[in-house]
Structure formats: C-alpha cells, structure tokens
Amino acid sequence: MLHIYCPHCCEYREEEEFHCKGQAHIARPLDPDNCSEQEWANFIFFRKNTKGQHQELWHHSAGCGKFFNVSRNTITYKIEQSYLLGTAPQPVLDVNKEGKA
Ligand SMILES: [Zn+2]
C-alpha cells in the first residue's frame, strides 16, 4: 500500500483515501474555438505511457477533497514528491549519482 503525502493536509495518508486522475500538466488549447480536431483529441484522449518518472494528478477524495500532483516512478511505484497544482516538481537529487561524480 502506498502512503501518499497530501500537500493540503500536510500529512501522509493511506492510498485508499485517494484517486489517481491520470497524467498531470495537460495544457488546454489556448484558443479552443480555433484549434484543430487533432489538438482537441490530444488534449482529451491521448496520454503518455511513461516508463519511469511520471507526474500524475491525484484527488484526496476521502480527505480534504482537493487536487494535487504526484511525481511517481511507474516501475517501482516510489513517490518522489507531492506538490500543489500550478507548481512544478522540484528536482530530486540522486545521492548515489552525486557521490560518484
Ligand atoms: Zn488532503
């Protein structure tokens, strides 16, 4: 079971309190009245299938009811960080790589 940090509640909670809503940072077309069908299709349907580090939108549905982003590794399921909407994930330093340099 994952323990997920909610940046709104400022504490870790069990995975069962949350719902993943898919890929994060999906930008809505700037001019929806004049964009192509392909641009709409990309916005609505098409998502990355990332192997490795991936940013996801999560909802604390059984808690505060707010949305936030999670940076998670899709291979190991390890969550690197949770962060508020409208912000970017912070770079994570790999201690092993830093030590070898
Ligand atoms: Zn919360």
Distance 18 CA to ligand 1 centre (A): 9
* 54-20-5-96 Cα dihedral, nearest 10 degrees: -20
Residue 97 pLDDT grade (very low, low, confident, very high; cuts 50, 70, 90) = low
Measured in angstroms, how far is the CA atom of residue 39 from the centroid of ligand 1? 33
41 in a structural domain: no
Looking at the structure of the chain, the number of domains it has is 1
Distance from residue 23's CA to the centre of ligand 1 (Å): 19
Render pLDDT for 29-67 as a digit per residue (tens, 0 to 9): 999 999 999 999 999 999 999 999 999 999 999 999 999
Domain annotation covers residue 31: no
User: d(Cα 66, Cα 47) in Å, to the nearest integer?
Assistant: 22
Kindly give the distance from the C-alpha atom of residue 97 to the centroid of ligand 1, in angstroms, as a whole number: 33
Q: What's the CA-to-centroid distance between 51 and ligand 1, angstroms?
A: 27
Examine the pLDDT at 13 and tell me if it is beyond 60: yes
Tell whether 4 is covered by a domain. yes
Domain range holding 69?
A: 1-25+48-86
Between residues 88 and 37, the one the model is more confident about:
37
CATH number for the domain including 9?
3.30.2270.10
Distances (CA, A) of 41 to 70, 86, 100: 24, 23, 44
Does any domain span residue 54? yes
β-bridge mates for residue 73, sequence order? 53
Give me the mean pLDDT over the 70-76 stretch: 95
Asked if residue 21 is part of any domain, the answer here is yes
How confident is the model over 68-77, as a mean pLDDT?
A: 95
- DSSP for 46-76, written as a single string: -----SSEEEEEEE-TTTT--EEEEEEETTT
